[in-house]
Chains A and B, each alone.
Chain A
């Protein structure tokens, strides 16, 4: 069976000049697709083309096996509703008025709302928690509230697909989470398909069923978050040269300090992350160890430390690794000692600490006092 929403070799662009070629999307009902990629890569262009605002250059879009070219704006308005980035200039319209425009395709000749329409407007507004804003002027509310009003508008149009262009920009974390929660709920409960562009990679990773990387002439990748959110893929997509991406955390680390490391950080179990970042801010290169490769410190150490002494997970630190670490430690002048307890498998770190003391190195508990 064909997917509910699919594009076939879709090529999009402006004024007949192709920008992105051969886009193939397959989406089932109730799935969430996020478009990620650098600024100006053409995410909005793709969104405009699948909502027919921009004529696609070639290729086709199918919604429930109907070709987009065979549908007029009216047909499409029952299928797809949008939340756009462009600022809405309204005049003397209350929030409720704005949401009610979503009922447009369902009202009669003069656009008068029926009691059912009013109920649906209210439902949509309650779903996104903006019912109390109903009598406020749309121009007088905050950006975050405005975004939610526009989402309510899109919802009460009762589409089968909602397209959102960067819905989380201007929103603070709380509203970002709330908005994505609403989308998730709608996708699950009402079987609505969601297609959106997102800048927040961590959120895209958590909310999406499918992710598309948009950059340059072709769509570089299309797949599940598990397939897409990998160090190399994201670094390549955003051409990261001054920082790095951690797929487990979904977060970014700043650039590794360069130069010869004279600082050794003895860490483990999350005690090191703060110190690593503090050293990075002061641009002091450092080495660290001895970490197990399943240690949370290891995730950040990889990106920030000049060298990481590491042992396989769940095993006792072996002598050879300890010897190497000790050799490196003795060439440093400062040791930052973060650990305050030791277990069976990292006992060797205590020895390392005692060696540092007996070597007469400067041993401090935190990078803050450097």
Chain B
């Protein structure tokens, strides 16, 4: 028995260490690499506030650092949101993107942006999140209604994808008829990208994402009980109704926050939790939740790096990169698990 326990602990520690190394490595690469070459010695100086020319300073401080931070926070948020949705629906391929929640958030953010741009050209970060949250809840509401009537896991996903299409269509419609100035902005954002994030945005997302994630972590225990199904969870003393509402709210806040700042990003929410669980060989939320956050950050740092540097100075949308890497993982889940229904 002792051997098994030690083996398990070693495995957890190994995953954590490898993830931390990857994280640090990608964090540095994201700051170092870019369409403009800045020498490493200069970067070190700039980071420690000692000189470097103003252009380089601007690139590092105003562009690369906030963008990197956004990738970390939003990546973590996305994969946690996916993990919560998978737990909630007891479905390994549930995620904010496939269930149409990201698209719902995108729709309300687009409406909000078009309305605000025509008047002030300024959009507040918190207001954006609130708009996105409302949209996310709207889609979530539809999905929940569907989940009541359709009992099969795959039908749920199909209806989620349909809701996503409807929301995207309406968004396109709005973009087409919006003013010229806002279209540019909207177009870039609606494809999904970490670019153009300011320090102010980073502050807001840090507050929202870190707070929500901490709450999720503190809910590890009931989440673990819920993994056995509602009846057993209730028998363990979980207040099911309240817990279900909490899960919906938390996952919506997380995916809304991502969509508000970076637009819809696909597959991270499914691929990362799945990879993390199979690396750890456990689904214990106490371990999976923090590692999932870290994993999401790594995944998005990596994908953003690829999207920026692969065809530099041209930039790919982040969703194209996450889809290329994430979709095969989703397919492999489908093949291996034979999702019921």
Contacts and interface: CB of A to CB of B under 8 A. Distances in A.
Interface centre among B221, B236, B238, B284 (most CB of A within 10 A): B236
A97 B277 CA distance: 15
A88 B239 contact: no
B234 interface: yes
Interface centre among A53, A102, A110 (most CB of B within 10 A): A110
Contacts of A80: 235
B228 A98 contact: yes
B229 to A, nearest CB: 6
B222 to A, nearest CB: 8
B220 interface: yes
A82 interface: yes
Interface centre among A51, A53, A92 (most CB of B within 10 A): A92
A74 interface: yes
Contacts of B278: 92
A53 B221 contact: no
Q: On chain B, which size bracket covers the interface? A: 20 to 34
A77 B229 CA distance: 15
Interface in A103-117: 104-105, 107, 109-112
Interface in A88-132: 88-93, 97-98, 101-102, 104-105, 107, 109-112
Contacts of B229: 86, 88-89
Contact of B232 (A84, A93, A110): A84
Nearest to B236: A104
Contact of A81 (B218, B224, B235): B235
A105 B278 CA distance: 28
A184 to B, nearest CB: 23
Given A104-B221, A107-B221, A111-B220, A97 B232 contact: no
A80 B234 CA distance: 11
Interface of A: 51-53, 72-77, 80-82, 84, 86, 88-93, 97-98, 101-102, 104-105, 107, 109-112, 134-135, 157
Interface of B: 1, 4, 90, 92, 218, 220-221, 224-225, 227-229, 231-232, 234-240, 277-278, 280-284, 286
7 interchain residue pairs of minimum CB distance = A111-B221, A77-B237, A104-B236, A74-B237, A91-B283, A92-B283, A73-B237
Given A52-B234, A73-B235, A82-B231, 18 more contacts: A51-B235, A53-B234, A75-B237, A77-B236, A86-B229, A89-B90, A90-B283, A91-B283, A92-B280, A93-B283, A98-B228, A101-B225, A101-B232, A101-B236, A104-B225, A110-B218, A111-B224, A135-B4
